[in-house]
A and B are shown apart, each in its own frame.
Chain A
Amino acid sequence: MSQTTQATAPAPSTRPAPRQSPLQRLGRLGRLVLVERSILLAIGIVIVLAYYGQYVGYFTVGYLSEQLTLNLEIGLLALGQLVVIISGRGAIDLSAGAMVSMCSMVLGFTAGLWHWPFWVAALATIGAGWLMGALNGYLAAYVGYPAIIVTLATWYVWKSLALYVHNTTPISSELPGQVDWLAGTVAGIRISLLAVWLPIIVLTWVLLNRTLYGRRLYGVGTNDIAARFARLQVARTRFHAFAFSGLMAGTAAVTVTSYYHSARADAGDPMVLRAITIAVLGGVLISGGAGKVSGVVLATLLVAFLNGGLTLLGVESQYQLAALGLLLLASALLNVWSARRFGIR
């Protein structure tokens, strides 16, 4: 007995030491930066802002809040993606941008053409977003469609319907003045940031971290079979995740329509790439069950300020498309790589 232990004990030391990556040799700090995505993102934001410091007059509350306002809708959609992707089984919401377009047209029709009171119209728009998200959720969670194919199909369904309902022309002049309320400023900061974005960030954080639903969502996303055996309502949890993404799309439609004072059928077209990029950059794992509000919010800030920086440099918006695509690939590779290295789940 003792002989066998003696024989086996030295064996591990004779094995070649596992290959170490340069970052592993960097030690705990490198590991922490990779595991805690917030730290990496915070470093990125500091670098970008330090770069802003070179330009006089741009490192101001007004300019920064302007950049955030331009990316407000994308920040909202990214929170929606966060919740959907956490729910697992490769879930993702490709239809979010098309839902924004469709909801924008709903607001245009209700507030502009049908003269509903603005607040009723806004609530109807958000409700329409919830319904569209609920349709995705119903098909994906209860009927069992793969999320990719549902949201790919509804993406084109809403996109083409949004273009059709008002024959591709935007609704602008018919919109009442109240619509612009969210576009105003308080002490240099946009009202939409304070009245919409901030509360929704807090609410999402509470939802994910301080409610039973949030715990269920992470559980279902991590392992839905185990979750079923633990008698969690798997389908219901997933359904509400997609519906949440629809709510975000409806809210984003209200803010984007008020910002441009125009209900456009292509309002959401460029948003979905950015939202998914932000979610992945924020450290949300596409396999589900992992992702934080803090990561997504910091990634939103980073992408917003990066966009502003590129605009300052005079880079054309086409290149920003390429930059976003590359950023998405790079952060997805980083997620896969660090998850494999350090076994984050």
Chain B
Amino acid sequence: MTATDVRPHPGQQRAEGTARRSFAYGNEVTLLGILAVAWVALSLAYPTFHEVGNIQNVLSSIAMVAIVGVGMTMVILTGGIDVSVGSGLAVCAVIVAKYVLSGGSVVVAVALGVLVGALLGAVNGAIVAFGRVAPIITTFATLNLFRFVSLQIFENQQVNGIPPTLSWFGPTGRTLGVPNAFLVAVLLTVVAWWYLKSYSTGRHLFAIGSNRDTALFAGVRVARREFAVYVVTGVLVGLASTVAVGSGGVVQPNIGTGFELQVIAAVVIGGTSILGGRGSALCTLLGALLVGTLRSALVTMGAPGLLTDFFLGVFILAAVAVDLVRQKRRSHR
């Protein structure tokens, strides 16, 4: 049996069936409900919260998390994890920033970011998929390696005076009042959702995450798929770096530290199982919105900035707890 030929084979229809049921099960609905309650409560308590300006800020601030979250969802679906995205973002951002500073064009700058990101993702993917090293070990090592690479390119100085070449992606670039970067994130999310739902190679990611050995016996080219998801994540990190450089001005050498936590938070808060095999790109977008709302709410409520990561960590633990309870209920059924 070749795994990539016909699309509507019986196994896939069953898989679509479960996808529909899990939709009815209400992950998206629950998340939307929580978001709505949070927004109503916060706007009642703080009238500035539902001002157009603040909503635009939230949307543009979560764009990077949502873009990379699409790739991270696929990685976590296969049962992997990528903690190197923050350092990867630093490498891409400094290269793009220096290129833009030297007077480069928009198209080449985006292509450069994407290409560098793909290269970094390929390093992770090759070691995980073909070297069979545990994803956490691999990406933990590359987290530090990429940080080193970015510091070398930064030459330990911030990049100053970046012209607003990429402002289309930045916080000021809006279409009909919605930040462009957020629109890109939505577009990517819809594409990923459609791909994961309707293409056999997309379904393979669920199979690998559920049971790697079984997927292997069923003829899934496991190593190739695993390699691909890390490269896709790298590409999206490259794209996110153009958003980071978008506003121009200054890029600091510490850019992207802790970014991986926000992305992983968005994915697991969206209900994608950290154990692999279950999840949805759509939910990750909602998870990213929830993370953005949380951060914005903390700022509005005057919580100290140093504690942002504290609340994110607690939030992740709570989200995974919900997933664990749901799993327990499912296994008792």
Contacts and interface: CB of A to CB of B under 8 A. Distances in A.
A157 interface: yes
A325 B87 CA distance: 13
A325 B148 contact: yes
B317 interface: yes
A156 B313 contact: yes
A153 B316 contact: yes
A325 B307 contact: no
Interface string B131-158: 1111011101111110111011000000
Contacts of A94: 136, 140
B interface SS class: helix
Given A160-B306, A321-B148, A153 B137 contact: no
B264 A276 contact: no
Interface in B67-92: 81, 83
A156 to B, nearest CB: 4
Interface string A157-179: 10111011001100000000000
A262 interface: no
B144 A321 contact: yes
A336 B261 contact: no
Interface in B271-290: 274-275
B133 A336 contact: yes
A330 B314 CA distance: 34
A194 to B, nearest CB: 32
Contacts of A340: 132
B321 A143 contact: yes
A332 B141 contact: yes
A143 B313 contact: no
A326 interface: yes
Interface stretch (A39-47, A144-152, A195-203, A230-238): A144-152
Interface string B119-141: 00000000100011110111011
B312 interface: yes
B313 A153 contact: yes
Given A145-B320, A332-B134, A333-B127, A157 B145 contact: no
A-side binding surface: helix, strand, loop or mixed? helix
Nearest to B137: A332
B148 A150 contact: no
B210 to A, nearest CB: 15
A329 B130 CA distance: 13
B274 A156 contact: no
B295 to A, nearest CB: 13
A163 B22 CA distance: 41
Nearest to A336: B132
Interface in A103-140: 139
A161 B320 contact: no
Contacts of A144: 324
B217 interface: no
B82 to A, nearest CB: 12
Interface string B295-333: 000000000101111101110110011001000000000
B47 to A, nearest CB: 28
A157 B148 contact: no
A160 B324 contact: no
B313 A146 contact: no
B144 A146 contact: no
Interface string A316-328: 0011011011101
Contacts of B133: 329, 332-333, 336
Interface string A297-341: 000000000000000000000110110111011001100100010
Given A150-B317, A156-B258, A156-B309, A324 B144 contact: yes
Interface string A225-264: 0000000000000000000000000000000000000000
Contact of A148 (B152, B274, B310): B274
Contact of B310 (A156, A167, A318): A156
A285 B143 CA distance: 21
Contacts of B304: 164
Contacts of B314: 153, 157
A47 B138 CA distance: 27
A290 interface: no
B307 A276 contact: no
B136 A154 contact: no
A152 B312 CA distance: 11
B147 A321 contact: yes
A307 B152 CA distance: 20
Interface of B: 81, 83, 127, 131-134, 136-138, 140-145, 147-149, 151-152, 258, 261, 264, 268, 274-275, 304, 306-310, 312-314, 316-317, 320-321, 324
14 contacts: A144-B324, A146-B274, A146-B275, A149-B268, A150-B317, A154-B313, A159-B309, A160-B309, A273-B144, A287-B134, A321-B148, A322-B149, A325-B148, A329-B138
Given A168-B306, A318-B148, A322-B144, 13 more contacts: A143-B321, A143-B324, A145-B317, A157-B313, A160-B308, A164-B310, A276-B140, A321-B145, A322-B145, A326-B145, A328-B137, A329-B133, A332-B133
Interface of A: 90, 92, 94, 139, 143-146, 148-150, 152-157, 159-161, 163-164, 167-168, 273, 276-277, 280, 286-287, 318-319, 321-322, 324-326, 328-329, 332-333, 336, 340
Those 9 A-B pairs whose CB atoms lie nearest each other, nearest first: A157-B313, A325-B145, A160-B309, A156-B309, A153-B313, A322-B148, A160-B310, A328-B141, A325-B144
